[in-house]
Structure 1
Amino acid sequence: MMPIVYTVYGFAIFFMIAWVCLWLIHIMAFSYSKWKLHRTVDRSPPEQPYPGISIIKPLTGIDPNLLSNLETFFTLDYPMYEILFCVECEDDPAVMLVQQTLQPKYPHVDVKLFKGGKRVGVNPKINNMQPAYLSAKYPLVLVSDAGIRMREDTLLDMVQHMRDDVAIVHQMPFACDAEGFAAVYEKVYFGTAQARMYLCADFLGINCHVGMSSLVRKEALDDVGGLAAFADYLAEDYFMAQAIVSRGWRMRVASLPALQNAGSRSVGALQARLTRWARLRIAMVPTTTMLEVLSECLPLGAGAAWAAGQLFSAEPLAFFLVHVLVWFLSDWLMLRSVQNGSPPFTKVQFLLGWVWSECCAPFVLATALFSPEISWRTRCYRLDWGGRAHELKPPHTQKL
C-alpha cells in the first residue's frame, strides 16, 4: 500500500512543480516582452556605415495580399540593400507581378529575379532560394517569406541587434490585423502561447529560431555549408541556427515582431500549419512532447488541481477555475504587450479565440503524434528521428 501512496504523492509533486515553473515562465515572458519588444529604433547616423543586405524572397503563386506585402520591401528605410526574388516555376504568376508592377514603380531599388531554383535536397524552399543565395552580394542575408509585411524601420531594428558576436537576428512570429475569427485565432495563438515560449527561449539562450524573417551573417552561414547544408531538413531554420551557434556565435530576437499577412486565412489552414510544426518538433526533439502537453493551460490546470487536492486538500474544481481565469488574464496582458496596445478586436472575441486555441492545442499535438506524415503545399514527407526528411510523392513535373 505504501508504494502506491508514494507514487501518488510523487506524481502530485511533479504536477505542482510543473505548474509553478509554467507560472514563472508567464512572468518571465511578460517582463521580457515589456523590455524587449517595440523599442525605439535609433535613426541617428551610425559611427560606421551600415552593411549592405541581400533580401531573399521565395515566391510561389499570388494571394490577395502579396502585392502590398512585397511593396513594403521596396520602401524600407535602409541605405543599401538588394531584393532577390525566387520562383520555382518560370511561369509562376508572381513573375509578372514583380517585373510589370513593382520594378517599374520602384526603378531605384536593386532587384533580381531567379527562376527554376536548383535542387540541392528535399526542402523546396531551399531549392528555390539556392541560386539567389549564391548570387547575394552583401555580407548580411535576410530570408523573408512571401507573406511577411515589413515596417519601414524593420531592417534598421534588426541590424542594430547584430552585434559583433551575433550571427542571427530573427523576428518573433506575429500576425497583421485582419477581420474574421481565423484572424483572431491566429493573433491569439502567436501573441500568447507562441510568444511566451519564444521570448523565454531567447532570454534563456535556447534555440527558438523560426526562419520566416531572419537576418544572417553570410560568412557564418557559409562556414557551416551555406543553405545547401540544410536542404534535407524541413525545419532548416532550427538546424541552421544550431550549426551556427555551435561555432561560437549568438542569436537574438529583434524588437519588432514579424507581421504575417497571408491573403487568405482559415481555422483549418492554421491548425494544419500548427500540426506540421508540432510534427517537426517531435521528430527533432522527441523529449519535448511531454513538456508540450504540460505547457498548455487545460492539461496543466487539471493535473495541478488534482495535485493540489492530494497535497493541500484544496478543492480541485475551484483550483482549476481560478487557474484558468488567471491564465486567461495573463494571456490578455501578454497579447497587449506583443501588439504594443489594444488588439483589433473586443474582449469577447478574444475570449472566444482564446478558448478555441486552448481547447484545440491538445488535439493538434495528438494529431501530430499519431499522423507522422507532413503535407507541405503539393508535397508529402516523412521525417526520421533527428529531423531529416524524405519526400514520399515527388512531383512528376519538378524543374529543379
Structure 2
Amino acid sequence: MTASVKQRQVVTILSAVGLTWYIILWSFGVLGCLIARKRYRLRPRSPLASEVASAVPGVTILRPLKGLDTNLYENLESTFTQEYPNYEIIMSVADKHDQALSVVRDLLTKYPNANAKVIIGEEVVGVNPKVNNLIRSYRQAAHDIIWVVDSGVMAAPGTLARSVDALIGPPSSVLNHSRRKIGLVHHVPFAFSSGGGKLGSKLEEAFLNTNHAKMYIALNTIAIDSCVVGKSNLWRRSDVDRVNGSEKFIPNADQGGSQTGERGLAVFGRYLAEDNMIARAIWHELGQRHELSCDVVRNAVGHMTLSDYVWRRVRWVRVRKHMVFAATLMEPFTESVVLGLIGAASLQHLVGLSAWILLLVHFLAFIFVDLDVYASLAGHPLPAATRWQFIGAWGAREILALPIWMLAMFGSEVEWRGKKYQVLRNGEVVRASGHGDTVPFRPSVHRV
C-alpha cells in the first residue's frame, strides 16, 4: 500500500470520527432545545402555594450579600414575595459598613411581617468569602431545606413552591422507589442587563441565554454526572452535613450514614466553586440525583466590560480544568466555530460538498436553535428592537470562545472580588500573594 493511499485512509477515518462527533454534539444541542421548550414554556402553579404553613416543609432562604450589586433591591425583594406558606429569609453580610445593609433595612421596613433577618459578621472557615459569609446563617437556619440564592439573582413568585415540589417529589410509589432520591434542585440562570449595558454584559447575556443554557439543560437531562452552577440551589442541610467533598460513596448513605471527620458547609470553604462541589458531593457521596426546576432565575449582569467578561470566563475555565480536566480539555470542540470547522471538513472529504456552504448552513442552524432556547427561557421571542445587537453579541461570543479558553489553560491564578487565588489540582484554592507565592489559610472568626 502506497503512502498516499494510507494517508487517504487516515483522513477518511478522521473525517468519519469528526462527523460522528459533529452529529453527537448537534444531538446534544437539539435535545437541550427540545427540553427547554417542554420544561420552560409552561410553568404551572404548585399546589404547595395554597397550603397552610403546617402542611408544607419549612425552607430557609440564605442570601449572601456584598456591596450594591446591580438590581439588588428587586433581587432581594423577590424572596420576600414567594408564594409559599412556610419560609424564613436570612441575609448575611461580612462587614457592618457594607452598603447592602441600607437595601436590607428598607426591605425589612417594607415587609414587617416577613420572617426575615440579617446577620452581620463572618466566620472564616476557608478561602471562599461566600462560604465565610454564609456559615453563621447556615448554622442558625430554622429549617432543613436550604435555598442558597446569589445576590445578583431574582426569582419569580412561584419558584420556591415548584422547587420544593421537585425536591420532595410525588407521593411514594413502586416507580419512585426505583429512582434515586433527589438531593438538589437548581435553576437555569437567565441573564439580563440594562439598556446601557456594556459590551461584556451583552456577551454574558448571549452566552448564558443560549449555548450555556442549551448544553446545561442537555447535560442535566442525560444526567450521567453532576453538572450544577450555583446561582440558585435548593438542598437539605441534613444531607450536606453528612458529606466532606471527597466524592467517595458512603456505603450506608441510604440509612443516614456519614463521612468521618469534618463535614458540612464549612469544609467547602476551601473551594471557589463551592456550589459545584456541594452538588458533586451530594451526587457521588450520597448517591442522590439532581433536578432542574421548571423555573429560570433572572441574573442581573450589570455593567460588565469586555475585559470583565474575558477574565470572568478565564476564571471559571481555570477552576474547571482542575476539577474536570478531561471535560475542560474538550470544551473547544463543543463550541460552534471549532465544531463547524470539524463538520465542514469531514463532510467535504466524505461527501464532496462545499465547506463554505456547509459552514453557512451550520451557523444559521446554530443561531436558530440558540434563539429558540432564548425564547423558551424568556417566555417570548427575542425582541425586535434588540435582535441584531443580540445576534452581534452572540457572534462575538462564539469567536472569542477559543481564544479565552487558550488563555485560561495556560495559568492557574484567578481573581475574584478583588482577591487573587491559586487553583490547586483538586479544585481547592489558596490565596496568592501576587508574587507567585501562596498564602496559607488560617481559620479565624470575625463577628460584629
**TM-score (normalised: structure 1):** 0.93
Change (3 A) 1:36 1:72: same
Cα shift at 1:252: 0.4
Give unpaired runs (5+ residues) of structure 2: 170-180, 244-262, 434-438
Equivalent position SS for 1:287? helix
Report the Cα distance in structure 2 between the residues aligned to 1:177 and 1:256, rounded to whole angstroms: 19
SS at match of 2:134: helix
Q: Find the counterpart in structure 2 of residue 157 from structure 1.
A: 162
CA gap 1:43/1:22 in 2 versus in 1, 3 angstroms: closer
Q: How many angstroms apart in 1 are the aligned matches of 2:24 and 2:206?
A: 22
Q: 1:203 aligns with which of 221, 229, 241?
A: 221
1:257 and 2:296 correspond:
yes
- Name the SS for the 1:131 alignment partner: helix
C-alpha contact (below 8 Å) 1:22/1:295 kept by paired residues = yes
Q: Please tell me the residue identity of whatever aligns with 2:189.
A: P
Superposition deviation, residue 4 in structure 1: 3.2
Which residue number in structure 2 is paired with residue 362 of structure 1? 402
Does residue 1:241 correspond to 2:260, yes or no? no
CA distance in 1, matches of 2:33, 2:190: 15
> Retained in 2: the 8 A contact 1:118–1:131?
yes
Aligned length: 398
1:257 alignment partner, SS class: strand
Residues 1:311 and 2:317 aligned together: no
Cα displacement (A) at 1:183: 4.4
Retained in 2: the 8 A contact 1:121–1:231?
yes
Deviation at 1:106, TM superposition (A): 0.9
In structure 2, the residue corresponding to 1:171 is in which secondary structure? Answer: strand
Distance 2:152 2:350 in 1: 49
- 2:11 is aligned to 8
Conservation of the 8 A alpha-carbon contact between 1:170 and 1:253: yes
In 2 relative to 1, CA 347–151 (structure 1 residues): closer, same or farther, beyond 3 Å? same
Deviation of 1:347 (Å): 2.9
Q: Are 1:63 and 2:74 an aligned pair?
A: no
Structure 1 residue identity aligned to 2:165: Q
Deviation at 1:7, TM superposition (A): 2.9
Whether the 8 Å CA contact 1:66–1:263 is kept in 2: the answer is no
> What does residue 218 of structure 1 align with?
237
Counterpart of 2:388 in structure 1 is 348
Sort the Cα spacing of 1:200 and 1:144 in 2 relative to 1 into closer, same or farther, 3 A: same
Retained in 2: the 8 A contact 1:65–1:262? Answer: no
Q: For 1:134 and 1:370, locate their aligned partners in 2 and report how far apart those are by CA, in whole Å.
A: 39
Local SS of the residue matching 2:290: strand
Indicate the SS of the match to 1:162.
helix
Between stretches 59-68 and 47-56, larger displacement belongs to: 47-56
**8 Å Cα contact 2:159-2:295 kept in structure 1:** yes
Query: Would the aligned equivalents of 1:87 and 1:116 in 2 still touch at CA under 8 Å?
Result: yes
Deviation (angstroms), 1:6:
3.4
Residue deviations 1:28-75 (CA, integer Å, cap 9, x gap): 111111111243333434598221111111111113521222122222
Q: Is the 8 A contact 2:372 2:381 kept in 1?
A: no
Residue of structure 2 aligned with 1:125, choices 110, 122, 130:
130
Cα distance in 1 for residues equivalent to 2:215 and 2:70: 31
Q: Deviations over 1:141-183 (max 9, x none)?
A: 0111111112111111211111352121111121136314554
TM-score by length of 2: 0.84
On the 8 A contact 1:41/1:156 being kept in 2, the answer is no
Say which SS state the counterpart of residue 270 (structure 2) adopts.
coil
AA in 2 matched with 1:61:
G
Change beyond 3 A, Cα 1:38–1:80: farther
Give distance in 2, aligned partners of 1:139 and 1:86: 18
Tell me the secondary structure at the aligned position of residue 282 of structure 1.
helix
Gaps of 5+ in 1: none
Residue by residue, what CA displacement relative to the aligned partner does 1:52-106 show, whole Å, maximum 9, x if unpaired?
Answer: 111111111113521222122222211111111111222212223323x111111
Task: Report the counterpart of residue 382 of structure 1 in structure 2.
Answer: 422
Q: Does 1:21 align with 2:24?
A: yes
Identity across the alignment (%): 29
> Could you give the per-residue CA deviations for residues 177-222 of structure 1, whole angstroms, max 9, x where no partner exists?
6314554433221121101111011101131111111111111111
Cα separation, 2, equivalents of 1:201 and 1:3: 38
- The match for 2:269 is 231
2:250 counterpart residue number:
none
> In 2, are the aligned partners of 1:118 and 1:127 still within 8 Å (CA)?
yes
Cα distance in 1 between the residues matched to 2:93 and 2:14:
53
Is the CA contact (8 Å cut-off) linking 1:63 and 1:264 kept in structure 2? no
Counterpart secondary structure, 1:333: helix
The equivalences for 1:173-192 within 5 A come to: 173-176=189-192, 178-179=194-195, 180=197, 181-192=199-210
CA distance, structure 2, for counterparts of residue 264 and residue 114 of structure 1: 28
Q: CA deviation at 1:321?
A: 1.7
**2:187 matched residue in structure 1:** 171
The 3-state SS of whatever aligns with 2:353 is coil
Question: 1:323-334 residue pairs with structure 2 within 5 A?
Answer: 323-334=362-373
1 CA distance for matches of 2:86 and 2:27?
Answer: 42
Task: Describe the SS at the equivalent of 2:168.
Answer: coil
